[in-house]
Structure 1
Amino acid sequence: MSLEARLSSALSCVRHAPRWCVAFSGGLDSTVLLQLLVDLARREALPPLRAIHVHHGLQSAADAWPEHCRRVCTALGVPLEVVRVQVEAGSSLEQAARQARYAAIELRLEDGEVLLTAQHRDDQAETLLFRLLRGAGVRGLAAMPARRRLGRGWLVRPLLDVSRGELEAHARRLGLTWVEDPSNDSLEFSRNYLRHQVMPVLAQRWPQTATTLARTAAHMAEAQALLDELAEMDVAMMASPGAYAWLPVPSLALAPMLSLSPARQRNALRHWLAPFTALPDSEHWKGWESLCAAAADSTPVWRLAAGELHRCGDRLWWLSGRWLRPVVGPVAWNDPNQALQLPDNGSVQIAGAAAPARYEVRYRQGGEVLQVPGRGSRDLKRLLNEAGVPRFARARLPLLYADGQLVGVANLPGLCALPLTIDWQPPPADAGLS
């Protein structure tokens, strides 16, 4: 099958996208991809095409690349946007540049738009080998997916089944010109070391090294898909709402989780936590083991990159953002007939007639006492324990005071000294990772 036909087949799943955008570095791979797409558009009905060039400013040679990309795109009749980014210093310049590049492009993708990148089979093989040497699991060894979400659109890699040799042969046959990145020859970068020092040696002994490694990545992607399906079934089993379904933070029932083998527990948790936080490596799963092994009446916490996993009662709760910040109070409630907005803590309103008094909302400080109808004066801490209110929620739970006296607890109808109900609408959980 010709290169053009393979590209057309690889793009069949995104033909109905509103627009295609090519990540155009000006190098060999993206130059061939752009030229192939322009040729394909002359013969087939394709979405509108544009290109984007990200200038990292990391080396003086790169200053000439935007102009080269403009000339190429002008000749092909493709609109080009040049974006300059600032690369943050870090332990890996490669990774920092990649993150800055994708972040800049993600901001510019329209709804449903498809970003097309030119990674090929050799890139896929190097990625698998690189991750294998870092001790990656199945998901990491699946290397680069052919398609994934990116912001409001999609990222598609239509050349993963094409070798770099094929791309170069095609470019030379058509007399295409491209820029050469001097940093690609630097053995300081791990991927370059693999490309120039390791892969050629492997190919001498096993000529199909790149092909077989890319095939292994495909096998790993299939295995990961099966693990994801298993995780979805396991998480669905744990997703039944608990007694406090009005708390808008992600949670899972603990008992079904603990009924699974340790490997299935980790698989399910990885799947569930992935939208919320960067996941720990294998050495840091001791935190999960400690959380499971803690005493039944304790409230252990597992701290992760973007938040905390709490075990409260019979559930696991994911807390991040505002749910880890202290609340600010007291808050005067001058008109109890109107809803009261609480700083960074949602809103409360009263259902029922509130007698004239000086009302305010406070939060727990310790030592509070509530007059409970039919039970007399009771310690609030004990009442909350009896009600099973998750520990993390108690500090945010609005307490209604009238003339300086605690008269009720929001969302707990049995804990109110007055003939009324205090409804609290908690703030939503913070958005997870992109």
Structure 2
Amino acid sequence: MSQSMIDLSARLLLNLKPWRTATTWRIAFSGGLDSTVLLHLLAHLAKTQSLPTLNAVHVHHGLQAAADAWPAHCQSVCDALGVPLEVVRVKVQSGASLERAARDARYGAFIKCTHANEVLLTAQHRDDQAETLLFRLLRGAGVRGLSGMPSERALGQGHLLRPLLDVTRADLEVYAAAHQLRWIEDPSNEDRQFSRNYLRHQVFPVLTERWPQAQATMARSAAHLREAQGLLDELAQIDLDEAGHRNDFDWLGLPSLELASLEKLSAARQRNALSHWLATRTRLPDSDHWSGWQDLRDATGDARPIWRLADGELHRANGRIWWLSGAWLRTPPVVGRWADPTLPLALLDNGLLSLTGPIPDGSLHIRYREGGEIMNLPERGHRDLKRLLNESGVPSFARGRLPLLYRGEQLLAVAGLRGLNGSARDGWNLHWQPPSEDQGLS
């Protein structure tokens, strides 16, 4: 084996050193040059090194007739190397960008097959990183986008690794030729209607003719921007820690931030903190579409502004902003009679209800607010429920979800609110576990 071959193997092992304790290394194997070299390298390293279990996964998109033969090719390569192969067939959604739809389908499959303490290895290299940087620059990306592809990130229950980002395509071609490897040439890689192919075949040859080190220097710029993004993330965390103080309604289980803390920051720093906070919860608007945040932040008086985002909503109440998604955006249906109050009651789109202590006599019903409700309180007499909720400071978006316990037409308790959620004299309490926030994006 030549010195360059040894260097490539050593570099790969060095990049994967922190992940040697994983249970499985799963290689994303398209059958193309890059992933074929990665698979071959790892299979041969496994003969002399103590590595995690190797597996390969081939995603079949079914977008062209030629692709039907690729699973068989991948299987023969894996059989020769002694690496088990899983073929996953996906359906690519139609849309404006076939590139993006195929990528979404592919990574959806990767997420499903990557389990806890496993890593998925993909074979993107330094040339791919330079293409990514230029592609995103032309789309007006910010610092995070221009930092390029990270060498590792969370994926499903495990992690995605790109151990060849410091290797050139030319290095991979030399290795493949030396080992007489066979790989698939995807016909779509020549179709220059796809943006990345246009950059690869039309733009980069011109750039590298004038600046031979263009791809290396662009990859270095991406590394600088990743470092800058890391600093922005640290700043965001400092600001979020300041705005994330506990509040009286933490029991709702909803993420929230103190508005006054955010308002002390510059506009750019507000956007940085919010982008960091929302990134795992929703797809974010581009930099030209943050007017919803300004409207939410600057609303006055009794206004109840809402900023609607792709996967949920930001509400403003009690001097805080609150993230609502999933069941919190759906109106819970009427409940009716509680047949057996000794058992917890699952409320559709509204969590779980239970009674502790002696069960009140009579036929019990669960309702939600409609307006005009009156509650009889010991030592206070009849009180309007709306006023009681105002006194308790219940956020406006939660008021219509509070389960109300009735006996006939008598309002006995309001779940979740101390002093209104049971009877101290009779020793029973109404407990409500609100619906959990949807996990959002990973």
**Aligned: 1:227 with 2:235:** no
Q: Distance in 1 between matches of 2:419 and 2:373?
A: 16
**Aligned: 1:402 with 2:402:** no
Amino acid at match of 1:247: L
The aligned length equals 434
The answer on whether the counterparts of 1:371 and 1:417 sit within 8 Å (CA) in structure 2 is: no
Q: Distance in 2 between matches of 1:72 and 1:354?
A: 68
Q: 1:113 to 1:358 in 2, by over 3 A?
A: same
Q: 1:106 to 1:348 in 2, by over 3 A?
A: closer
The answer on whether the counterparts of 1:372 and 1:416 sit within 8 Å (CA) in structure 2 is: no
* Counterpart position of 1:421: 429
The answer on whether the counterparts of 1:411 and 1:421 sit within 8 Å (CA) in structure 2 is: no
Amino acid at match of 2:399: R
Q: Distance in 2 between matches of 1:19 and 1:408?
A: 53
Q: Distance in 2 between matches of 1:139 and 1:415?
A: 48
Amino acid at match of 1:164: R
The answer on whether the counterparts of 2:282 and 2:440 sit within 8 Å (CA) in structure 1 is: yes
- Listed as ranges, the gaps of 5+ residues in structure 2 are none
CA RMSD of aligned residues (A): 1.7
Q: Distance in 2 between matches of 1:116 and 1:101?
A: 14
Q: Distance in 1 between matches of 2:199 and 2:27?
A: 27
* Counterpart position of 1:392: 397
Match of 1:47 among 48, 52, 57: 52
* Counterpart position of 2:309: 304
- SS of the residue aligned with 2:221? helix
* Counterpart position of 2:135: 130
* Counterpart position of 1:271: 276
**Aligned: 1:366 with 2:366:** no
Q: Show the 5 A alignment for 1:64-143.
A: 64-143=69-148
Match of 1:280 among 278, 285, 291: 285
Q: TM-score, normalising length from structure 2?
A: 0.94
The answer on whether the counterparts of 1:120 and 1:160 sit within 8 Å (CA) in structure 2 is: yes
* Counterpart position of 1:347: 352
- SS of the residue aligned with 1:73? helix
Q: Distance in 2 between matches of 1:234 and 1:187?
A: 44
- Listed as ranges, the gaps of 5+ residues in structure 1 are none
Q: Distance in 2 between matches of 1:254 and 1:161?
A: 43
Match of 1:431 among 426, 432, 439: 439
- SS of the residue aligned with 1:54? strand
**Aligned: 1:145 with 2:153:** no
The answer on whether the counterparts of 1:408 and 1:416 sit within 8 Å (CA) in structure 2 is: yes
**Aligned: 1:197 with 2:205:** no
Per-residue displacement from partner, 1:141-191 (whole Å, max 9, x unpaired)? 111100011111111111100111111122112221111111111110000
**Aligned: 1:57 with 2:65:** no
Q: TM-score, normalising length from structure 1?
A: 0.96
* Counterpart position of 1:378: 383
Q: Distance in 2 between matches of 1:21 and 1:366?
A: 57
Q: Distance in 2 between matches of 1:3 and 1:94?
A: 30
Q: Distance in 2 between matches of 1:347 and 1:173?
A: 64
Q: Distance in 2 between matches of 1:416 and 1:32?
A: 65
Q: Distance in 2 between matches of 1:212 and 1:21?
A: 30
Name the stretch that deviates more: 159-168 or 397-406.
397-406
The answer on whether the counterparts of 1:331 and 1:342 sit within 8 Å (CA) in structure 2 is: no
Amino acid at match of 2:87: V
Q: Show the 5 A alignment for 1:137-286.
A: 137-286=142-291
* Counterpart position of 1:38: 43
Name the stretch that deviates more: 363-372 or 125-134.
363-372
Per-residue displacement from partner, 1:89-111 (whole Å, max 9, x unpaired)? 11111111111111112212232
The answer on whether the counterparts of 1:85 and 1:101 sit within 8 Å (CA) in structure 2 is: yes
The answer on whether the counterparts of 1:413 and 1:421 sit within 8 Å (CA) in structure 2 is: no
Q: 1:416 to 1:34 in 2, by over 3 A?
A: closer
Amino acid at match of 2:352: S
The answer on whether the counterparts of 1:139 and 1:224 sit within 8 Å (CA) in structure 2 is: yes
Q: Cα offset for 1:372?
A: 3.2
Q: What's the % identity of the aligned pairs?
A: 60
- SS of the residue aligned with 1:11? helix
Q: 1:385 to 1:50 in 2, by over 3 A?
A: same
